[in-house]
Structure 1
Amino acid sequence: MIEMTAQNPIIKHIFTADPSPIVHNDTLFLYTGHDVATEADTNYKMADWHVFSTTDMATWKDHGAPLSPSTFSWATGDAYAAQCIERNGKFYWFVSTFHKKDGVSGGGAAIGVAVSDKPTGPFKDAIGKALVINEMTKDLPHAWDDIDPTVFVDDDGQAYMFWGNGSCKWVKLKENMTEIDGSITTFKPKNFIEGPWVYKRKGLYYLVYAGAGTKPEMIEYCTATNPAGPWTYQGIIQENVPNSFTTHPGIIDYKGNSYFFYHNGSLPTGGSYRRSVCVDYMYYNEDGTIKKIVQTTDGVKALK
């Protein structure tokens, strides 16, 4: 188990991307992708998903990679963005990867769900098949539109999953977190590209995503008073990040602070396919709108 001291990027011994934080038993767990592309590669190579944890926002423990596309018998290819959440004492890790076609690659992007009794695993495929496959969403012609799932459970117990590349999709989930409940809805928030992160704060729903219409991506967001929308565009909260044409939000409140996780390419030999997770403070205005994120190399202060 490797311990690290936080300065941005907070993880330095491997390349990490697509951060997803949760809090369990007073510990913050951070789930990430893992870039393994070489400096010469011109596309993503993402081997697996890692788990890190902290209790002070300064020292991070690496719990290894308890999940990879090979966990899923139906999957092939890379470990794209994912999010883990807790419900009814179990941890459900919603992931995006690619689906085999006739036993080999070529089936398009798909969303799966793994489950564990502990936040650090071991995880197993919860249902033995993909939750969403390319053929279920026909609004866009490209095969990688079903990526980047984000899941939250509302105060009334209803769970929702949002995802997408090029357009945003959402659907209700049954209480078991492994079945879709009803039809998939597709919509297009202003400048939406990918990487949605959905949460609720003080009665307001937030849909935060990678946007700006063209790469390099920025982080933009909408708000709503209902998870089904309508969503009101609120603007850009994070400008381009250093040395990466993608970025990805992960937002959490922990021990009295709001934290904004993202990735950039600022480690030595880093880049758009060799990214690194960072964290900075997040602040809200009185009306619930989000103040611009200030990207720092210092990161956040250690908690006492």
Structure 2
Amino acid sequence: MKKLILLISLFVTVIQLSAQQKTYCNPVNLDYGYGPIPNFTTWGKHRSTADPVIVNYKGDFYLFSTNQNGYWWSSDMSDWHFVSRHFLTQEAIDATPNKWDDLCAPAAWVQGDSLCVFGSTYSRIFPIWVSTNPKGNEWSKAVEHFDIGGWDPAFFIDDDERLYMYNGSSNVYPLYGIELNRTTFQPIGTRKELLLLDDQKIGWHRFGEHMDNTFLKPFMEGAWMTKHNGKYYLQWGGPGTEFSHYGDGVAISNHPLGEDNHFQHVSLPFSMKAGGFIRGAGHGATFQDNWKNYWHTSTMVINVKNNFERRIGIWPAGFDKDDVMYCNTAFGDYPHYLPTGKADHLKNQFTGWMLLNYNKPVQVSSTLGTHYANNLVNEDVKTYWSAKTADKGEWLMTDLGELSTVKAVQINYADQDVEFLGKQHGIYHQYIIYYSLDGKKWNVLIDKSKNKKDVPHDYVELQKPVKARYLKMENIHMPTGKFAISGFRVFGLGAGQKPDAVEVFMALRSDETDRRNAWLKWKPVENAYAYNIYIGQEPDKLYNCVMVYDVNEYYYPGMDRTKPYYFAIEAINENGTSTWTRAEAL
């Protein structure tokens, strides 16, 4: 009888664990390669990739991105497996001095029963590769030389099986589109000029960290095409990969090459993440999971050691009842649920787990130079704490300020004095995280002392939440460089009340200077540490979101000078969010 009860108990536990919906947290925890270009690392060697494309092939997800000497696959968008692969042929290696440039801003698409891949180039050095077994790294050449080439290419197969390519990366020239023979990949006709930026009219198109457009014309790059309800949604990245508002725009047509070679701009960015811990949501791809839910992957910005120091994010996306395309980046670097079935992405996949240790007290074992301890909890990936060494026993400790329910932890490693260039294999991180109620008695929370994986943005969802006030991380092994962390982020729920709603929220727009610009101002909420600002051109479609910390104003110079705008704000603390407060329409 006791054995039967034990078996039933174990069975119930297994069912409960299997029913628990898994989560993830941006930036995606991939074994990112280190920047391979020597003259791009003079301010410090660092990890980097960008320009991601994810495709669903036979129920699995395949992720390709810039300069990784391979690709990843996953069955659940959480556990990613790297496949080492050089896509350059020997002819290409002999022909180019940039032997590190294996795939830059790659294209990937499913054609028939094959997964196809092509890297950016206008030369004849890259084949188009195809595979029916990409997990097994089995590839062949569809064509030896894709003569027309294209930089930042994207390939799209329409419902009638006709094949199109979109490409372009310039602050002068437009995005182009052309039809291709799907067997020979030869062009059918000539390429069409489809789209140019309009920064004089649309504020977020402007170059510069503050959209001030004082230095260069804005860049347009990273084309992608999605078809929905008979309409063609041409997506593109801009205006510069270095900037917080690096995002993806969208333009719409009833024809894959545009009506009269023209697509109509939607003046709001489709994907934008201009605030939070790590910013940027540009140059990416839109894909569907196994339940036909849409998701969007794109580039996130660090831009400290080099302009091209970047990471990858994934967000829920979709189309609303009026066929408006959206990407939901609200709480875009907080824990989100992974797909397990059909979902309404307008309601987001956000878990509701809040950040528990923003600007809370921290202690550390040692400090290197000006890489101070408070950088661990200041919600800025561009700054980091570094210990003086990578020795076993270097540690950090965070005080949540009160007894809280901890559900997940994200550890974002920083690159301090790292030694690697290019993709590395066999490297790993090891650590232990402890928790305590009083800072005296400690219990193990997460034990990765035997870990053999490279986890530069390790995210650990606890199998069972714990009550804690203090968390302590002890270093055991670093793959290279010092023990350095840009964000030790603890998620869960506090023990208090949700924040009060914002009482006064004003939006100002000048008719005399530049109607692309708005100044948003609000009365601070005493029990809030951050705010989400929602932006849209219709009162029920506030699909853009900016998270700001510890301020009560925000300058938004991203508007279309000819369109009305609507704004709402919610306050945020460790216990949840307030109701929205709306500003008068501008």
Q: The TM-score by the shorter chain falls in which range?
A: 0.7 to 0.9
- Kindly tell me: are residues 72 and 213 of structure 1, through their superposed partners in 2, closer, same or farther at Cα, counting changes over 3 Å? closer
Instruction: Name 1:11's counterpart in structure 2.
Output: 29
Structure 2 counterparts to residues 41-190 of structure 1, below 5 A: 48=69, 50-68=70-88, 72=92, 76=96, 77=98, 78=101, 79-97=103-121, 99=123, 112-120=127-135, 121-133=137-149, 146-166=150-170, 167-176=174-183, 178-190=185-197
Shift in Å at residue 271 of structure 1?
5.5
1:199 aligns with 2:236: no
Instruction: Name 1:104's counterpart in structure 2.
Output: none
Shift in Å at residue 252 of structure 1?
0.6
Contact 2:163 2:179 in 1 (8 A): yes
After superposition, the C-alpha distances for 1:37-92 in whole angstroms (9 at most, x for unaligned) are xxxxxxxxxx63x3212222222222233424757468633232112112232222
Instruction: Name 1:239's counterpart in structure 2.
Output: 272
- Kindly tell me: are residues 153 and 299 of structure 1, through their superposed partners in 2, closer, same or farther at Cα, counting changes over 3 Å? farther
Q: Distance between the aligned counterparts of 2:56 and 2:280, measured in 1? A: 29
Q: Distance between the aligned counterparts of 2:280 and 2:317, measured in 1? A: 22
Contact 1:71 1:124 in 2 (8 A): no
Contact 1:20 1:31 in 2 (8 A): yes
* 3-state SS in 1 of match to 2:71: strand
1:277 aligns with 2:312: yes
Shift in Å at residue 244 of structure 1?
7.4
Q: Distance between the aligned counterparts of 2:307 and 2:24, measured in 1? A: 22
* 3-state SS in 2 of match to 1:17: coil
Contact 2:271 2:282 in 1 (8 A): no
**Residues 280-289 or 236-245, more deviating:** 236-245
Aligned length: 265
Aligned-partner residue type, residue 169 of structure 1: Y
Identity %: 19
Q: Distance between the aligned counterparts of 2:287 and 2:184, measured in 1? A: 21
Q: Distance between the aligned counterparts of 1:87 and 1:172, measured in 2? A: 15
Structure 1, gaps ≥5 residues long: 35-46, 101-109, 134-145
Q: Distance between the aligned counterparts of 2:257 and 2:63, measured in 1? A: 27
Q: Distance between the aligned counterparts of 2:156 and 2:126, measured in 1? A: 16
Q: Distance between the aligned counterparts of 1:89 and 1:25, measured in 2? A: 9
After superposition, the C-alpha distances for 1:111-156 in whole angstroms (9 at most, x for unaligned) are 75222332343334433224325xxxxxxxxxxxx41000111011
* Structure number with bigger Rg: 2
After superposition, the C-alpha distances for 1:191-217 in whole angstroms (9 at most, x for unaligned) are 461111112122111101013489633
Q: What do you get for the CA RMSD once the two structures are aligned?
A: 3.1
- Kindly tell me: are residues 71 and 202 of structure 1, through their superposed partners in 2, closer, same or farther at Cα, counting changes over 3 Å? farther
Shift in Å at residue 10 of structure 1?
1.3
After superposition, the C-alpha distances for 1:144-180 in whole angstroms (9 at most, x for unaligned) are xx41000111011100000012311111111215322
Instruction: Name 2:253's counterpart in structure 1.
Output: 224
Match of 2:294 among 258, 274, 284: 258
Higher RCO by CA contacts (8 Å cutoff, separation 6 or greater): 1
Aligned-partner residue type, residue 301 of structure 1: Y
Q: Distance between the aligned counterparts of 1:212 and 1:218, measured in 2? A: 8
Please give the TM-score of this superposition, normalised by the length of structure 1.
0.75
Shift in Å at residue 7 of structure 1?
2.2
Q: Distance between the aligned counterparts of 1:82 and 1:26, measured in 2? A: 21
Contact 1:244 1:275 in 2 (8 A): no
Instruction: Name 1:288's counterpart in structure 2.
Output: 323
Contact 1:280 1:299 in 2 (8 A): no
Q: Distance between the aligned counterparts of 2:294 and 2:95, measured in 1? A: 35
Q: Distance between the aligned counterparts of 1:182 and 1:13, measured in 2? A: 42
Q: Distance between the aligned counterparts of 1:26 and 1:52, measured in 2? A: 14
Contact 1:114 1:126 in 2 (8 A): yes
* 3-state SS in 2 of match to 1:197: strand
**Residues 177-186 or 17-26, more deviating:** 177-186
Aligned-partner residue type, residue 307 of structure 2: S
Give the structure with the larger helix fraction.
Answer: 2
Structure 2, gaps ≥5 residues long: 1-22, 33-47, 199-218, 341-586
Aligned-partner residue type, residue 256 of structure 2: P
Instruction: Name 2:521's counterpart in structure 1.
Output: none
- Kindly tell me: are residues 228 and 302 of structure 1, through their superposed partners in 2, closer, same or farther at Cα, counting changes over 3 Å? closer
